[in-house]
Amino acid sequence: MKPEDVIWRLLEQFAMQLQLLDESQELLDPKKQEDLMIILGECEQLTRTQINILRRIGRRYGVT
């Protein structure tokens, strides 16, 4: 497996994770489950950071 393949696969997985986080937040009651909403927001932030890191290294390997 080439580095480009690994980067692409991870980016796809993180994109699916962002979608899952978004869908999960839509199902929650922000007032009753505020603590869970905060945690999901933190998870989203972490996932976006991971995506940015992969995109940065992806440029080195020619992944668009």
Q: Averaged over 27-47, what is the pLDDT? A: 95
Nearest-angstrom CA–CA distance, 52 and 42: 15
Average pLDDT over residues 59-64: 84
Model's pTM, two decimal places?
0.87
Q: CB count, 10 Å around CB of 56?
A: 9
Query: Which structural domain, as residue segments, surrounds residue 37?
Result: 1-14+32-64
Residue closest to 15 by CA, chosen among 61, 52, 41: 52
User: Would you say residue 24 lies in a domain?
Assistant: no
Task: Evaluate whether residue 19 is within a structural domain.
Answer: no
How many domains in the chain? 1
Mean pLDDT across the chain: 95
In-domain check, residue 26: no
Is residue 7 assigned to a domain?
yes
Average pLDDT over residues 38-61: 96
| pLDDT value at residue 1 | 87
Residue 53 lies in a domain: yes
CA 40 to CA 58: how far, in whole Å? 26
- Read off the pLDDT band of 64 (50, 70, 90): low
7, two tokens: 């980067």
